[in-house]
Every structure is written in C-alpha cells, then in structure tokens.
C-alpha cells in the first residue's frame, strides 16, 4: 500500500458546486496532513493543514481528518474556474519529511 493515496481523477465539477477530494494514508504516516494546490507548470502552494480529528474550515475550504479510518479530505465550496489545478495530499512523518499522494486534477467548468 502506498503511504498516501488519493482517489483517482480527474475530477470535473460545474462552477458553484462542491468539489470533494479524498486521500487515505498508511500507518507509516503520522498525524499531520496538508493539502497543496499546484497549477500547471508552477510549484505547490499550501492551502490547508490539519492535525486533529474533525473538521477545519478556512474560507471556502474545509479539511476533514478521520484518524480511525485513516482518511483525510478537502471540500471546496462554491468552486470557481480559478480552483482548477492539481491538488496534492501530503502526510508528515516523525522526521519532518512529507509523503505526497499522486495528486487529483480538478477542473471547474463554467
């Protein structure tokens, strides 16, 4: 099993809809998780971090962590075309390294 695995994409949603991105992780990944957004040809930028079980909201973004199910998700409300990008889920290890998932390509169409 890969340490961090994202649900297969690509994902296409209409403008204004909720986009749901999911990620599962193995026992080798510790309890800090991050969602990065990467536009084509650019470097990843952090959009959310979550360390505790439950939900964390920041504007249109909500990260959810379920440690029992080893599952972390990102919800994007009121999706905009500018949200179209690759979203990377990453889990931290005890030595400070991050393990990245393979990414989910999101397209928001007008």
Partner 1 sequence: EADIYQTPRYLVIGTGKKITLECSQTMGHDKMYWYQQDPGMELHLIHYSYGVNSTEKGDLSSESTVSRIRTEHFPLTLESARPSHTSQYLCASSESGGLSAKNIQYFGAGTRLSVL
**CA 16 distance to own-chain centroid:** 19
Task: Please report whether residue 58 would count as binding partner 1 according to CB under 8 A.
Answer: no
Please select the residue that binds partner 1; options are 28, 42, 67, 109, rule is CB under 8 A. Answer: 42
Tell me how far CA of residue 52 lies from CA of 30, 68, 74, 76, 106, in angstroms.
11, 12, 14, 19, 26
Task: Please report whether residue 39 would count as binding partner 1 according to CB under 8 A.
Answer: no
Q: Which of 22, 26, 10, 20 is nearest to 99 (CA)?
A: 26
Please select the residue that binds partner 1; options are 23, 44, 74, 89, rule is CB under 8 A. Answer: 44
From CA 26, how far away is CA 72, in angstroms rounded? 12
Piece of 13-21, 41-49, 62-70, 77-85 that binds partner 1 (CB under 8 A) = 41-49
Task: Please report whether residue 110 would count as binding partner 1 according to CB under 8 A.
Answer: no
Task: Please report whether residue 103 would count as binding partner 1 according to CB under 8 A.
Answer: yes
Neighbours of 84 (CB within 10 A): 19
Q: Write down the least CB distance from residue 49 to partner 1, Å.
A: 6
Binding residues for partner 1 (CB under 8 A): 30-32, 34, 42-46, 49, 51, 88, 90, 92, 94-98, 100-103
């Amino acid at each position: 099993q890969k340490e961090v695995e994202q649900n297969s994409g690509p994902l296409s949603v209409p403008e204004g809809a909720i986009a749901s991105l999911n990620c599962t992780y193995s026992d080798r990944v510790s309890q800090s998780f991050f969602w990065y957004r990467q536009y084509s040809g650019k470097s990843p930028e952090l959009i959310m971090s979550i360390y505790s079980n439950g939900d964390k909201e920041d504007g249109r973004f909500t990260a959810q962590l379920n440690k029992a199910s080893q599952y972390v998700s990102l919800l994007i409300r009121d999706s905009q075309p500018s949200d179209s990008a690759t979203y990377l889920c990453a889990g931290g290890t005890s030595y400070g390294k991050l393990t990245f998932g393979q990414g989910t390509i999101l397209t928001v169409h007008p």
